[in-house]
């Protein structure tokens, strides 16, 4: 399997060089830009605040960088991938999944996520609870990233030099931040740093009152609507590491510290006046350096609404992981153009279309890429970036066999794809539990004796005929006998299943065996 994948990757690298940029998948375009502008080994960074359960939106935040890393490796390049768990952010709301722990959690509002207790007791903190969940999901999807807890980076003093620089040039920094965020001026109490109150532990309610290059005084007296400061006044040194940089300075600082070659963010960060504009200003005017390569990606919507970790909007990744193989989910998210909004509507029909599309894309591997349309090239690259698991039988066909033969042992025997059936069986069982099996595939085989034209039709079928030939035979017979094809299909389903609809007829009769069906109805 590994040798096969290496050959595929080499083939992909060779063909990439021949494609013009406009016909490339977004991962190939960005990999090409990294090679042209950055130095090897390349560093891809990304990050998120683990304030709630992972959903498809957050899944993209670690899948997209993985796609770039994979595209670079397909070209024989060396690349690392750092994923930042930003658990130094303030805890600003109880997510819906923790509603029952509200009374336990609300006293900690405004504190850094890494000091808020995990109400389940499973991990060291609230932030680490959801970070651990994210790590498990990364593993499930084959994401190879080094996880970095940003609070630990602060604790070892890595950001002290940035804090000192920003405090030394505070007026210039404020001017850059205000200008790039399209504000005339920043609030009077704005500061490059956000102290952690040594009395109540909050970070959201503090403000710097005065500072030198090495130390600062602060007051914990802000009202941020969801919590209030305790009124304490204190003083710390930067070397105490009891602060965090303001977000618009924190983001460029971590990229500079890690030596980032490329990092992306959602379109909201890349709008005019967004935090990406500030990042560019900080790199060029304060760091006096060229910024990393940036890219933006669209929103992941759930039935037209934006996902929200804290509000619980949208189906969680863990739920979808029970219904679909990881390859299909990755393919769904990696295939579209990067800036395109992806609207997820996980009905059984939509998921079956996705699975069919994915298996069709996998079938393109090894084909002549130069003769493909751009759409098929995108599908091909998305399939390459997804972990290609060996299953041959179509998902829908496995459902069909399951309804016909019951036990997985019999399904494996009839499909002649034991490994594939074993892999897909867990997902199909979840479909059964969740009621996702399409109505057409929920049936009992209850054949009656055929009469009239139905009898003529079944008498005309030959043993060993293939599914597509059966399908065509229905149309040809209906046309020859002046019968509406739709009506004739209904008549056949009524004869065999006692209902107007059923599985694809050609595949269904072929799975049953034409000789068996003829014996049952004639």
List, as one string, the DSSP characters of 391-410.
--S-HHHHHHHHHHH-SHHH
Q: Where in 102-254 does DSSP place strands (E)?
A: 146-149, 193-195, 206-211, 215-220, 233-237, 243-245
- Residue 257: CB atoms within 10 A of its CB come to 14
CA R_g for the chain: 29
CATH number at 443-521: 1.10.10.350
- Determine whether 430 is exposed, middle or buried from the number of CB atoms within 10 Å of its CB (0-12, 13-18, 19+): middle
As annotated, the residues of the chain forming the CATH 1.10.10.350 domain(s) are 443-521
pLDDT for residue 518: 94
Distance in angstroms (rounded) separating the CA atoms of residues 149 and 146: 10
How many angstroms from the chain centroid is the CA of residue 174? 35
Distance in angstroms (rounded) separating the CA atoms of residues 71 and 42: 12
**Buried residues in 435-450 as b, exposed as e (16+ CB within 10 A):** ebbbebbebeeeeeeb
Give the single-character DSSP code of 296: E
Helix orientation angle between 326-334 and 56-74, rounded to the nearest 10 degrees: 80
pLDDT for residue 502: 92
pLDDT for residue 233: 98
Distance in angstroms (rounded) separating the CA atoms of residues 329 and 199: 46
Distance in angstroms (rounded) separating the CA atoms of residues 123 and 486: 58
**Beta partners for residue 284, in sequence order:** none
Q: Are 109 and 31 in contact (CB under 8 A)?
A: no
Q: Which of 57, 198, 50 is nearest to 118 (CA)?
A: 50
- Determine whether 186 is exposed, middle or buried from the number of CB atoms within 10 Å of its CB (0-12, 13-18, 19+): middle
pLDDT for residue 11: 52
Q: CB-side exposure of 96: number of CA atoms within 13 Å?
A: 10
E strand or H helix at 203: none
pLDDT for residue 117: 97
Distance in angstroms (rounded) separating the CA atoms of residues 125 and 110: 14
314 Ramachandran zone, left/alpha/beta (phi>0; psi -120 to 50): left
- Tell which CATH architecture fits domain 1-153+298-389: 3-Layer(aba) Sandwich (3.40)
Q: Which of 241, 198, 222 is nearest to 88 (CA)?
A: 241
pLDDT in tens, the chain (522 residues): 455 555 555 555 544 444 466 789 999 999 999 999 999 999 999 999 999 888 888 889 999 999 999 999 999 999 999 999 999 999 999 998 999 999 999 999 999 999 999 999 999 999 999 999 999 999 999 999 999 999 999 999 999 999 999 999 999 999 999 999 999 999 989 999 999 999 999 999 999 999 999 999 999 999 999 999 999 999 999 999 999 999 999 999 999 999 999 999 999 999 999 999 999 999 999 999 999 999 999 988 877 776 554 454 556 688 889 999 999 999 999 999 999 988 888 889 899 999 999 999 999 998 998 899 989 999 999 999 997 787 899 999 999 999 988 899 999 998 899 999 999 999 999 999 999 998 888 888 999 999 999 999 999 999 889 999 999 999 999 999 999 999 999 999 999 999 999 999 999 999 899 999 999 999
For CA atoms 43, 49, 53, 54, the dihedral sign is negative
Q: Which of 98, 86, 77, 87 is nearest to 28 (CA)?
A: 77
DSSP string, 216-235: EEEEE--B-SS-B----EEE
Q: CB-side exposure of 141: number of CA atoms within 13 Å?
A: 35
pLDDT for residue 500: 94
Residues contacting residue 485 through CB under 8 Å, at least 6 positions apart: 474, 475, 478, 479
Distance in angstroms (rounded) separating the CA atoms of residues 232 and 198: 8
pLDDT for residue 6: 52
As annotated, the residues of the chain forming the CATH 3.40.50 domain(s) are 1-153+298-389
Give the single-character DSSP code of 22: G
């Amino acid at each position: 399997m590994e040798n096969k994948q290496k050959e595929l990757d080499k083939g992909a690298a060779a063909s990439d060089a021949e494609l013009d940029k406009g016909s490339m998948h977004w991962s190939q375009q960005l990999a090409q830009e990294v090679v042209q502008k950055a130095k090897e080994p390349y560093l891809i960074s990304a990050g998120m605040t683990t304030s709630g359960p992972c959903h498809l939106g957050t899944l993209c935040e670690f899948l997209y960088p993985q796609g770039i890393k994979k595209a670079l490796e397909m070209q024989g390049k060396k690349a690392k991938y750092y994923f930042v768990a930003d658990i130094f952010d303030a805890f600003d709301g109880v997510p819906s999944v923790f509603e029952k722990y509200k009374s336990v959690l609300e006293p900690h509002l405004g504190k850094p996520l890494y000091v808020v207790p995990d109400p389940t007791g499973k991990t060291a903190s609230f932030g680490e609870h959801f970070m651990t969940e994210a790590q498990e999901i990364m593993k499930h999807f084959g994401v190879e990233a080094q996880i970095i807890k940003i609070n630990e980076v602060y604790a070892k003093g890595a950001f002290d030099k940035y804090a000192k620089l920003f405090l030394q040039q505070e007026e210039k920094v404020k001017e850059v931040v205000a200008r790039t965020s399209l504000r005339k001026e920043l609030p009077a109490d704005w500061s490059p740093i956000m102290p952690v109150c040594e009395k109540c532990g909050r970070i959201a309610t503090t403000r710097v009152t005065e500072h030198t290059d090495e130390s600062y005084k602060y007051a914990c007296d802000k009202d941020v609507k969801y919590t209030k400061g305790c009124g304490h006044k204190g003083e710390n040194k930067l070397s105490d590491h009891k602060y965090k940089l303001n977000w618009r300075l924190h983001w460029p600082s971590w990229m500079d510290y890690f030596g980032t070659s490329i990092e992306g963010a959602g379109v909201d960060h890349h709008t005019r006046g967004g935090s990406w504009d500030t990042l560019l200003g900080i790199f060029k005017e304060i760091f006096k350096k060229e910024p990393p390569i940036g890219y933006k990606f669209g929103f992941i919507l759930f039935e037209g609404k934006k996902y929200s970790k804290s509000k619980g909007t949208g189906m969680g990744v863990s739920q979808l992981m029970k219904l679909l193989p990881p390859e299909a989910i990755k393919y769904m998210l990696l295939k579209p153009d990067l800036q395109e909004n992806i609207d997820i509507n996980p009905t059984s029909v939509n998921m079956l279309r996705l699975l069919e599309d994915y298996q069709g894309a996998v079938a393109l591997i090894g084909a002549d890429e130069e003769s493909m349309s751009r759409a098929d090239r995108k599908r091909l690259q998305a399939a390459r970036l997804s972990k290609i698991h060996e299953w041959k039988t179509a998902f829908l066909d496995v459902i069909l066999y399951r309804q016909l033969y019951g036990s997985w042992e019999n399904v494996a025997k009839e499909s002649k794809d034991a490994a594939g059936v074993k892999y897909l069986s867990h997902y199909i069982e979840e479909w059964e539990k969740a009621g996702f099996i399409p109505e057409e595939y929920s049936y009992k085989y209850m054949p009656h004796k055929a009469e009239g034209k139905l009898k003529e039709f079944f008498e005309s079928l030959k043993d060993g005929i293939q599914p597509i030939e059966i399908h065509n035979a229905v149309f040809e017979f209906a046309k020859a006998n002046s019968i509406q094809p739709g009506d004739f299909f209904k008549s056949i389903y009524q004869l065999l299943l006692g209902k107007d609809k059923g599985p694809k007829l050609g595949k269904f009769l072929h799975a049953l065996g034409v000789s068996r069906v003829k014996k049952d109805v004639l």
